[in-house]
Chains A and B, each alone.
Chain A
């Protein structure tokens, strides 16, 4: 899920609509790229809307979304939450999602923005 240079091959937007397959690239304020499964990204209602809205947002058509206000360590935590959430729903995860006290406030603001 984490890493650079794993950008998905560019596809036609028509192909991507209503499609939960494939990956999407989330880019932090510092420019770090997180490549996550679309299925995971759609845990966020904001991203779900972006990825599924007819016509699509320009950034999602290219398979990437920039978050100039979310720093790397927070975006990483958000991505971890996406996968935790999927695993929890499917019963594969039973442990609580760990949140470090020192990042809670910033994480909450980002989570609120992403509606997740």
Chain B
């Protein structure tokens, strides 16, 4: 006080420390909402997912707007606006948090993806009974039918990986 240097408050230091180490943050049960408001907006999608999964108390008053931002980024502005319109049209009967919407949308996309994969696998097995799908690429089949099958499978695989890159980049391990 004599030299006029003002030390940072311990709360501020801790908040900064937590922001610097968000990758280690788990449950935040018992922490004041006012403090969480300063910390959670710095979370990435994966970090926020982990914190909310491990925390028993409802963080949605703080995280809803953060999830909306993630939703917009993942699924596009246009789609997000459509969702908002739909919820408004329901007159408040349908009201989900953006976290729930994000989860539902992600699961739906995964379902579509799985179905497509299944279809490809079935198709391949039908055409090449007996052998596993491990030799889909880099194979040296001479038969024209098998060659065609291989090309189809490869193009499906390319489509698949393109889809994953576009929409699931952050989720697929």
Interface residues in chain A, defined as those with a beta carbon under 8 Å from any beta carbon in chain B = 78, 81, 84-85, 88-91, 97, 99, 101, 104-105, 107-109, 111-112, 114-116
Contacts and interface: CB of A to CB of B under 8 A. Distances in A.
Contacts of A88: 5, 7
Interface SS of chain A: helix, strand, loop or mixed? helix
B129 interface: no
B10 A104 contact: no
A85 B5 contact: no
Nearest to A97: B13
A89 B2 contact: yes
Given A99-B13, A111-B9, A91 B2 contact: yes
Contacts of B85: none
Contacts of B6: 89
**Interface bracket on B:** 20 to 34
Contact of A85 (B7, B15, B21, B32): B7
Contacts of B35: 108-109, 112
A115 B9 CA distance: 8
B46 interface: no
Given A108-B11, A109-B30, A89 B18 contact: no
Interface of B: 1-3, 5-11, 13-15, 17-18, 21, 24-25, 28, 30-32, 35
Given A108-B18, A111-B14, A84 B7 contact: yes
Contacts, number: 63
19 contacts: A89-B2, A89-B3, A90-B2, A90-B3, A91-B3, A91-B5, A99-B13, A99-B14, A104-B18, A104-B21, A105-B18, A105-B25, A105-B31, A108-B10, A108-B15, A108-B35, A109-B32, A111-B11, A112-B11
A116 B11 contact: yes
A104 B15 CA distance: 8
Interface centre among A78, A89, A90, A116 (most CB of B within 10 A): A89
A104 B14 contact: yes
Given A81-B10, A85-B10, A107-B10, 16 more contacts: A88-B5, A89-B1, A89-B3, A89-B6, A90-B3, A97-B7, A101-B21, A104-B14, A104-B21, A105-B18, A107-B14, A108-B15, A112-B11, A116-B9, A116-B10, A116-B11
B23 to A, nearest CB: 10
